[in-house]
A and B are shown apart, each in its own frame.
Chain A
């Protein structure tokens, strides 16, 4: 792929993500209206000066609710992927350095986790842990584990026979030191790429869970929850589903584009070498 196009896609992704991040930051200092105040006289208002994106079925300001929700989306996205990545990387690195039965057990366990269709594992965990924000974070984090451990596993295996690792081993560096001091910095770019791409899917899973009523609970706002609430009015006032859907798509698209562009640049650099 041409460098220019890569650059453009990366910039577009970064722009979209920055839009959402600034919405989130601004929400801590300024909200156009109180996102939770209900006022039935104002219900189902079209966008106006007072309500930039209109109001919902309870007369709450949609823009303010979207801004508040961006906190949950970014928080759940970042934290759950971070937790999943840490556990996944440790398992993957352990499996790649350990030989024999431990390697087999760890990787089959990961294969087992991988066989759970995305949201099913999250739903199962929510059934056990109960609904709510933190349980959604844990559920999504566990879903993220296999992706990171598989990636780390294959990357570490790749690096294991490189000269610099052999050199480190020859002067007696411990396994732990080799992994964390030598191999991990080498494979970090690939892991960061995966991190960015995973945030997009984590946010999608969060919104799906909230949509099904298993994630963020009312009166808190979440894009998924807003969409779920709009279902009742789909046939009479479908506009309610438009703003949260679009912002959700923008966010996911932004993170995906950044991840893809990074990935491409790593691949093309490797090919150039």
Chain B
């Protein structure tokens, strides 16, 4: 197990290295150098040259990269020239909103996906299954931002069940906070539910076909008990593998949803960053978001192995 964890960490670090290379080069490619951009209208040629010197922009790229990585590890992520604040501070300020949004969305999506996925597997090729799969297809095809607009009009404006926009901080009570992100979280959940139902359904189907399910019948175990005790346990491991992917999807969805519902989270900050071409902040946010995805992937891989001792490292690749 330990050697697996070490191997997994090393491969994760390699991935992070490539992410940093991709980010570094893509953003170096951006027209306009950071020194000119950050000085804005105050930029005289002398001032720009001076700042370029200070920012190390005259150094060869590998030295620039090295310094950048060094700074990343020491916690100095630079400062945004649009907001004039530390990148880390900006991210940490916005993070709770996005985390709450993602968490509420997960709380909605997981039980829902399990119920639908399991029902769909138990009643395979029957109407429950057909309805579930039609919903899945629709969920995959509906543009999240469109759904957000429609929900906004109907549930927030017409029915008045939710605030039209804005976020209520934790200071006003956790419930008020949750209420303010509930509608966007539902929209995010609808976008997430398709892939999750699909994997739960297929792993439940394969779990139902296992020999141990036949054994429960031979032993005369009641069907419901057999399903809850054995089939379900077998089926709940596979969905773990796509949690990393789900997180990535959720962050992508958050960019759109936060903008529509005016939630001051990571997604909204990202759009502002791209619109303003705030290189330093964009760099920091990209590294932050992708590292989170990689870390979650490593953690889920380890959990997956802990939950399922039958899988040996380097075994079947499917």
Task: Please give the residue numbers on chain A whose beta carbons come within 8 Å of chain B beta carbons, in ascending order.
Answer: 1-2, 104, 108-109, 111-113, 115-120, 123-128, 130, 154, 157, 200, 204, 207-208, 211-214, 227, 230-231, 234-235, 238, 241, 245, 248-249, 252-253, 256-257, 260
Is B143's CB under 8 angstroms from A234's CB? no
- Using Cβ atoms and an 8 Å threshold, which residues of chain A touch B14? 104, 108
B248 touches which of A118, A212, A252 (Cβ 8 Å): A118
Is A120's CB under 8 angstroms from B146's CB? no
The distance in angstroms between the C-alpha atoms of A111 and B14, with both chains bound, is 9
Interface mask (B157-193 → A, CB under 8 Å = 1, otherwise 0): 1000000100000000000000000000000000000
The distance in angstroms between the C-alpha atoms of A141 and B100, with both chains bound, is 32
- Using Cβ atoms and an 8 Å threshold, which residues of chain A touch B15? 108, 111-112, 115
- Using Cβ atoms and an 8 Å threshold, which residues of chain B touch A124? 23, 26-27, 274, 282, 286
- Of the candidates B17, B252, B289, the one having the most CB atoms from chain A within 10 angstroms of its own CB is B252
Chain A residue at minimum C-beta to C-beta distance from B285 = A120
Is B290's CB under 8 angstroms from A116's CB? yes
Nearest CB of A to B51, in Å: 21
Task: Please give the residue numbers on chain B whose beta carbons come within 8 Å of chain A beta carbons, in ascending order.
Answer: 11, 14-19, 21-23, 26-27, 29-31, 125, 137-138, 140-146, 149-150, 152-153, 157, 164, 248-249, 251-252, 255-256, 259-260, 270-271, 273-275, 277, 282, 286, 289-290, 293-294, 297, 317
The distance in angstroms between the C-alpha atoms of A211 and B274, with both chains bound, is 14
Chain B residue at minimum C-beta to C-beta distance from A154 = B317
Shortest 9 CB-CB contacts between residues of A and residues of B: A112-B18, A253-B141, A117-B252, A245-B146, A117-B248, A252-B141, A127-B274, A128-B30, A118-B252
- Using Cβ atoms and an 8 Å threshold, which residues of chain B touch A260? 137
Nearest CB of A to B104, in Å: 19
B143 touches which of A108, A125, A249 (Cβ 8 Å): A249
Nearest CB of A to B102, in Å: 12
The distance in angstroms between the C-alpha atoms of A127 and B34, with both chains bound, is 13
- Using Cβ atoms and an 8 Å threshold, which residues of chain A touch B157? 234-235
The distance in angstroms between the C-alpha atoms of A211 and B317, with both chains bound, is 39
- Using Cβ atoms and an 8 Å threshold, which residues of chain A touch B125? 1-2
Is B153's CB under 8 angstroms from A127's CB? no
Chain A residue at minimum C-beta to C-beta distance from B282 = A127
- Using Cβ atoms and an 8 Å threshold, which residues of chain B touch A211? 145, 256
A-B contact pairs, 6 of them (CB 8 A): A200-B141, A207-B145, A212-B271, A213-B275, A245-B143, A249-B143
- Using Cβ atoms and an 8 Å threshold, which residues of chain A touch B146? 227, 241, 245, 248-249
A117 touches which of B17, B140, B277, B289 (Cβ 8 Å): B289
Is B30's CB under 8 angstroms from A127's CB? yes
B27 touches which of A118, A128, A238 (Cβ 8 Å): A128
- Using Cβ atoms and an 8 Å threshold, which residues of chain B touch A1? 125
Interface of A is mostly: helix
Chain B residue at minimum C-beta to C-beta distance from A251 = B141
- Of the candidates A2, A227, A234, A248, the one having the most CB atoms from chain B within 10 angstroms of its own CB is A234
Is B270's CB under 8 angstroms from A120's CB? yes
The distance in angstroms between the C-alpha atoms of A124 and B138, with both chains bound, is 29
Q: A127-B30, A214-B274, A235-B153 are in contact. Are A252 and B290 (CB under 8 A)?
A: no
Chain B residue at minimum C-beta to C-beta distance from A248 = B143
Is B137's CB under 8 angstroms from A253's CB? yes
Is B152's CB under 8 angstroms from A234's CB? yes
Contacts between the two chains (Cβ within 8 Å), count: 141
Interface of B is mostly: helix
The distance in angstroms between the C-alpha atoms of A248 and B23, with both chains bound, is 31
- Of the candidates A1, A2, A123, A124, the one having the most CB atoms from chain B within 10 angstroms of its own CB is A124
Is B27's CB under 8 angstroms from A115's CB? no
Nearest CB of B to A14, in Å: 15
Is B255's CB under 8 angstroms from A120's CB? yes
- Using Cβ atoms and an 8 Å threshold, which residues of chain B touch A157? 317
The distance in angstroms between the C-alpha atoms of A208 and B11, with both chains bound, is 32
The distance in angstroms between the C-alpha atoms of A124 and B23, with both chains bound, is 9
Is A117's CB under 8 angstroms from B27's CB? no
Q: A115-B293, A117-B251, A207-B143 are in contact. Are A234 and B286 (CB under 8 A)?
A: no
- Using Cβ atoms and an 8 Å threshold, which residues of chain A touch B153? 234-235, 238, 241
- Using Cβ atoms and an 8 Å threshold, which residues of chain A touch B259? 212
Nearest CB of B to A222, in Å: 12
The distance in angstroms between the C-alpha atoms of A238 and B151, with both chains bound, is 11
Nearest CB of A to B15, in Å: 5
Chain B residue at minimum C-beta to C-beta distance from A239 = B153
Is A241's CB under 8 angstroms from B149's CB? yes
- Using Cβ atoms and an 8 Å threshold, which residues of chain A touch B252? 117-120
B289 touches which of A120, A231, A235 (Cβ 8 Å): A120
Nearest CB of A to B83, in Å: 16
Q: A108-B14, A117-B249 are in contact. List 19 more A-B contacts (CB 8 A).
A: A111-B11, A112-B19, A112-B21, A115-B297, A117-B252, A119-B256, A120-B255, A120-B289, A123-B270, A127-B282, A128-B31, A204-B143, A207-B145, A208-B256, A212-B259, A212-B271, A230-B149, A235-B164, A249-B142
The distance in angstroms between the C-alpha atoms of A2 and B27, with both chains bound, is 50
- Using Cβ atoms and an 8 Å threshold, which residues of chain B touch A235? 153, 157, 164
- Using Cβ atoms and an 8 Å threshold, which residues of chain B touch A130? 31
- Using Cβ atoms and an 8 Å threshold, which residues of chain A touch B138? 249, 253
The distance in angstroms between the C-alpha atoms of A238 and B294, with both chains bound, is 40
- Using Cβ atoms and an 8 Å threshold, which residues of chain B touch A252? 140-141, 143
